[in-house]
Structure formats: C-alpha cells, structure tokens
Structure 1
Amino acid sequence: MVSARYRTEASNGVDGRSRVPDGLDVAVASPLKADADPAATNPEQLLALAWATCLNGTAQVLVREQRRTNVRVEVELHPVEPGPGYAFHVDAFLSAEGMTDAEAQDLLERAHARCPVSKLIGGAATVHVHTEEFAAA
C-alpha cells in the first residue's frame, strides 16, 4: 500500500466549534436551526469551500498556472422525498481566462476527473459541473 501524501483530521465538539489540529477553528451551526449564530459556518459552506479550492487547484496544475482560473461552487440543501433527511445539490462552475468554451470544457472535464473532492462526490446524481465566462474574482 502506498503511504499517504498528506493526512489531517477534524473534530466537532459539543461547544459548537469544528477544529483542525494546529489550524482552522470555526464556530459551526446548522443552517436549519432558527436560533443559529449567523456568524457560524455550516456544512454546506465547508463543502463549497472544499470543492472550490480543490477543483481550482487541480485546474491550475493542469494549465501550469499560465492562465487564471476561477471555480465557484453552489450548494443547496433539499429534503429527500420520501424522507427522512436531506441531500446536497451541488454545482461547480469553472471559468478560465483566455480560453474558448471548448477549451474550458476540456479543462473542466480533466480537472473534475482528477480532483480528489470530485472523485468523492462526483458520482452523485445531484452533483454537476459547468463552465462559465471568465470574470476575475
């Protein structure tokens, strides 16, 4: 077995905070909780950040950082019919400076096939990727 290139962990305590050892420490709350701290983050936001960061980083590797790329991720929480519970509906939008629609689509497909977060969630029926016109962030 090949050893891991990187390893981390996170914990979510009863104090409403999620932590990464020697790193990120954020207040967390459910977006469905009426009295949730509005400054707290939630799983939907963390998923959006994780995929946007990973997919854009992968795109940057593929273009060898010779072009600017942006990734925008939208995450929605929908009730599962019939319940119980909820499901994420997730859309990623990639744009690349100076690329044609076809070139951007090719980059998106290659990045999505290579990105570890895409590999984790990409098989879900509620996960989609799209290209869009480049706009500097």
Structure 2
Amino acid sequence: MEPKKLYNTTVINEDGVNGHVYVADPNGLDVEISDPRNDLPGANPEQFVGLALSTCLNATVEAIEKKNHVPHTSQVRVHVTMVKGSQGLEFLVHAKVLIPGVDFATAQAFTALAEKRCPVSKLLSGSPNVKIETVEQF
C-alpha cells in the first residue's frame, strides 16, 4: 500500500550554483543562488540545508510542546560547514535546540522525540556529519 500523500512539490535548478532555483508552481519561490565561496549575492545549498532542518525540527518541537500543553518557546539554530573530507566536499551540520519554557531534562526529551519525528532529521539520520543537541543557552 502506497503512503498517503500530504504534500508534494517540484524544485528545479537549471543553473548549478550560480543563477536561480525555483519551485515549479505559478506562485512558487524563486531564489537567487551562488557559490558560498564567492561574494556574489544569493543563497547556497548549505543555507538550504540549515533552513530545512531548523524549520522542520522547530515545527516538530512546537507540535510536541502543544501536545504537552506547553507554550511554544523553542528555537533551533543550525550551523552548516562545508569541508573537504576524504570523500570530497561534505557538510557538517550542528543543530542546537533551546526550549526555555521547560526544565532541561524535559527539553532534552522533547528534542530527542523531535529528532525521531522530523522528516528532515530522519532524512539526515545516520550521518556522522549531523549532530542535534539540546542547549540551555545560545
């Protein structure tokens, strides 16, 4: 049985890392892109990974907070570094989750649950280059 589709989209890149990437929808997002190793304006894959993980992870924490009748106070910051590793270019991803509305043990439990539920986190799971941690301050 095929899973129930809740949403789908198509993103198109015809320019590599210099030009535009866009969502194939009349009202879709169109983003200028550029190589992060130059000073040209535009976003880059590192930023897109950080945006995707921080948004998905924080939305998942928000749902967990709501289910536990806790006001939404969480924040997620994701740092992405591009390195030249043994297999070529790689991303190092470090997400920090702050949930000031609960005690630290509860924040850690919420983060662990969110990491298991967030679709982007699940996509990145198993990579030694990805770290998600709960923090008491940024």
Match of 2:98, SS state, is strand
How high is the TM-score relative to the length of structure 1? 0.87
The equivalent of 2:128 in structure 1 is: 125
| Partner AA of 2:77 in structure 1 | R
How high is the TM-score relative to the length of structure 2? 0.87
2:10 counterpart of 1:9:
yes
Q: Per-residue deviation at 1:134?
A: 5.0
Q: Distance in 2 between matches of 1:110 and 1:125?
A: 19
Q: Distance in 2 between matches of 1:67 and 1:12?
A: 35
Q: CA RMSD in A?
A: 1.6
The equivalent of 1:74 in structure 2 is: 79
Q: Is contact 1:70–1:95 with CA below 8 Å preserved after alignment? A: yes
Q: Distance in 1 between matches of 2:73 and 2:10?
A: 30
List runs of 5+ in structure 1 lacking aligned partners: none
Q: 1:29 aligns with which of 34, 50, 59?
A: 34
Moved runs in structure 1, 4+ residues, more than 2 A?
Answer: none
The equivalent of 1:63 in structure 2 is: 65
Q: Distance in 2 between matches of 1:67 and 1:40?
A: 31
| Percent pairwise identity | 35
Q: Distance in 1 between matches of 2:52 and 2:22?
A: 15
Number of aligned residue pairs: give it: 130
List runs of 5+ in structure 2 lacking aligned partners: none
The equivalent of 1:98 in structure 2 is: 101
| Partner AA of 1:10 in structure 2 | V
| Partner AA of 1:105 in structure 2 | Q
Q: Per-residue deviation at 1:24?
A: 1.1
